[in-house]
Amino acid sequence: MDYRSIDFSLRDGVATLVLSRPARLNAFTAEMHAEIRDAMDRVEAPDSGARVLVLTGAGRAFSAGQDLSESDAGAAPLDVGATLERNYNPLLARLRALPIPVVAAVNGVAAGAAANLALACDIVIAARSASFLQAFAKIALIPDAGGTYTLPRLAGLPRAMGMAMLAEPVKAEDAERWGMIWKCVDDADFPAAVEQLAAKLAAGPTGAYARIRRALLASPDNDFDTQMALELALQREAGAQADFAEGVHAFLEKRPPRFSGR
Ligand code: LHQ
């Protein structure tokens, strides 16, 4: 498939998906979603070699969320429910189940569904000039793309409520200070920081990363005993992987580990 709304590359274990409609601030269309599905198929292919997925945007924005000028018949209003059902909800579910880490490299404003897509990623790194905007209430909608799940868990209920109702941009450094994202870095350092982060994750223990994600995402909804049982089960699996043996050998031999991801 030829892409018109995204760019995709896969090199050295790093899959990079760039939302790329810069004239519309990379707003999501049905076409963009179809292309993302195709790229996700390539990432998920058993022999893809992908060990980290990086999502980012072309130009000055990460993405302005749903393209509000898009409609089925040109004039008919957007069918919000159908768009979520067909496009956003499956994408969020797919990213959450992906067996490799997902990084959101938020290069500029992330608004609406795109803000919540970014916040659903495992590691969110943002340029200092970036911002997160829960734009929904401005058009009389509610946060979607997982926002009502993610926001209170990341930021606490008072800030989630403020962001959702007031729809004011949250600067990257405030998002970092509030604990909503991993890190905010100066714009000049951002590309190198993203590259380094991606390279580190691509060379890491992929299977352990997938289990870390499962355990941490399950945690807020579990009681102590349930979480300890989950930890035990996942750690037992991790301990049976080749990468655990390699990690221990490397430590004892005082050398860096060479993780295969298995
Ligand atoms: C856009 C958009 C855009 C089209 C900028 N669409 N053109 C909703 C419905 C259905 C199902 C699923 O879920 C959703 C969830 C959602 O995502 S709802 C939220 C949708 N997004 C928004 O409401 C954000 C709208 N955009 C903005 O508020 C601003 O553009 C932000 C704050 C992102 C950036 O502001 P500026 O830096 O001042 O840029 P701009 O507003 O001048 O935008 C540049 C161009 O991009 C402009 O076009 P033009 O032809 O005038 O140069 C905008 O119209 C266009 N654009 N966002 N979502």
d(CA 63, CA 18): 10
Which positions of the chain have pLDDT values less than 50? none
What is the model's pLDDT at position 74?
A: 58
Number of Cβ within 10 Å of residue 233's Cβ equals 13
d(CA 104, CA 117): 8
d(CA 79, CA 147): 19
Tokens representing residue 188 in the block: 């000049």
Q: Which class does domain 206-252 fall in?
A: mainly alpha
CA nearest to 128, candidates 184, 179, 176, 60: 184
User: What is the 28 CA–ligand 1 centroid distance (Å)?
Assistant: 10
Q: List ligand 1's pocket residues with C-beta within 6 A.
A: 24-25, 27, 64-69, 78, 80, 83-84, 88, 109, 111-113, 133, 135-136, 138-139, 141, 144
Opening angle at CA 130, ends 124 and 131, nearest 5: 85
Tokens representing residue 39 in the block: 């790229």
Architecture per CATH, 6-202: Alpha-Beta Complex (3.90)
Ligand 1: atom nearest CA of 139 is 23
Q: How far, CA to CA in Å, does 109 sit from each of 26, 57, 228? A: 10, 9, 38
What is the model's pLDDT at position 249?
A: 98
What is the model's pLDDT at position 73?
A: 52
Ligand 1: atom nearest CA of 133 is 32
Nearest CA to ligand 1 atom 10: 80
Nearest CA to ligand 1 atom 1: 24
User: What is the 135 CA–ligand 1 centroid distance (Å)?
Assistant: 9
**Fold match between domain 6-202 and domain 206-252:** no
- Domain range list for the chain: 6-202, 206-252
Mutate to test the pocket of ligand 1, among 5, 20, 21, 24 (most ligand atoms within 8 A of CB): 24
d(CA 123, CA 181): 7
What is the model's pLDDT at position 70?
A: 87
